[in-house]
């Protein structure tokens, strides 16, 4: 199976698989990127699922790949890996993950201090999918001048003590806080955390164990902001894991996310909030 399918291709693969299982019946399942069920991920046979920049499954919908390409490789708790193509910029690196940098002069595999063995293996597998061989394997802190030059120069990227020392016993958790129903409700967001999960008309709580972030969308109501901060305090106090009640709560606003927050999301886009939500939704429907 080709692990390089994008969202539409992935839907087609799953549909075909279910057709076979159900005796050829017309079945189609729509899967949103980042919320792939375990069954779908298992169809890739241990290879990473790859999301490319600027491509669709429509004939003629693919844009030509750039000369310099950067891919982020991240694994989930089930051991499945995803690879996402990002803008080739040093600011997109993340201590949490492994990266593959493809240039006309060669391919580098960059390994963040917090990258897992599964992510390192996924990066190697990605090189096979791309048809390239890594000419160098660079550990975080051991980069060459050529590596930084290919990324437009050295720059600050997403790193923190927590990202460098992942604690599998306490994976990050994301919660949505809303009073749209008339009652203040907190619900955990399932699946892998993506930037799309951050609803601009709500308040979100991100628990990274050492810190709890309260993210405030630009369109969130005042009551949601107040209740979310109080709920974050209660969340820490009532956590059955007996966490430190002094765990810091960090309040941040949409568009001003620090690397210690954005680093937990796969493929974070710094320009995401500047684009029109309606245009993004229409573009997704057009795929």
CATH number of 173-278: 3.40.20.10
pLDDT at 11: 40
Domain range list for the chain: 7-164, 173-278
Which residues are bridge partners to 175 per DSSP?
188, 205
7-164 and 173-278 in the same fold: yes
- Is the four-CA dihedral 58, 132, 72, 77 of positive or negative sign? positive
Most confident of 53-62, 92-101, 191-200, 224-233: 92-101
pLDDT at 150: 96
* Six token digits for residue 258: 């620090």
pLDDT at 68: 94
More confident residue, 47 or 99: 99
pLDDT band at 57 (very low <50, low <70, confident <90, very high): low
* Dist CA 27 CA 14 (whole Å): 9
**pLDDT one-digit tens code per residue, 243-257:** 888 899 999 999 999
pLDDT at 255: 92
What is the chain's mean pLDDT, rounded? 81
The answer, yes or no, to whether residue 223 has pLDDT greater than 90, is no
**pLDDT one-digit tens code per residue, 13-52:** 444 444 455 455 555 666 666 666 666 777 777 788 888 8
More confident residue, 108 or 64: 108
Question: What CATH superfamily classification does 7-164 receive?
Answer: Severin (3.40.20.10)
* Dist CA 6 CA 49 (whole Å): 8
pLDDT at 3: 41
Poorest-pLDDT segment among 1-5, 152-156, 187-191, 197-201: 1-5
- Is the four-CA dihedral 83, 277, 95, 77 of positive or negative sign? negative
Reduced to 3 states, what is the DSSP secondary structure of residue 257?
coil
* Dist CA 184 CA 197 (whole Å): 18
């Amino acid at each position: 199976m080709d692990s390089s399918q994008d969202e539409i291709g992935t839907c087609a693969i799953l549909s075909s698989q279910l057709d076979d299982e159900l005796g050829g019946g017309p079945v189609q399942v729509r899967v949103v990127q980042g919320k792939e069920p375990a069954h779908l991920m298992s169809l890739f046979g241990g290879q990473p699922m790859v999301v490319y920049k600027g491509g669709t499954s429509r004939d003629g919908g693919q844009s030509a790949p750039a000369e310099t390409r950067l891919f982020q490789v991240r694994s989930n708790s089930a051991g499945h890996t995803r690879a996402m193509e990002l803008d080739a910029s040093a600011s997109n690196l993340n201590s949490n993950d492994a990266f593959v940098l493809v240039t006309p002069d060669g391919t580098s595999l960059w390994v963040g201090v917090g990258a897992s063995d599964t992510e390192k293996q996924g990066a190697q597998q990605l090189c096979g999918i791309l048809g390239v061989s890594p000419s160098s394997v660079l550990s975080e802190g051991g980069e060459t001048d050529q590596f930084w030059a290919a990324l437009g120069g050295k720059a600050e990227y997403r790193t923190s003590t927590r990202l460098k020392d992942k604690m599998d016993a306490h994976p990050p958790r994301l919660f949505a806080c809303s009073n749209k129903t008339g009652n203040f409700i907190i619900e955990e967001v399932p699946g892998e955390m993506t930037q799309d999960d951050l609803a601009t008309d709500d308040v979100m709580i991100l628990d990274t164990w050492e810190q709890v972030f309260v993210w405030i969308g630009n369109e969130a109501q005042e009551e949601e902001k107040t209740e979310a901060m109080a709920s974050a305090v209660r969340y820490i106090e009532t956590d059955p894991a007996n966490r430190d009640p002094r765990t810091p709560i960090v309040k941040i606003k949409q568009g001003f996310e620090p690397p210690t927050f954005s680093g937990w999301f796969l493929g974070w886009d710094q320009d995401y909030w500047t684009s029109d939500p309606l245009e993004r939704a229409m573009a997704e429907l057009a795929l």
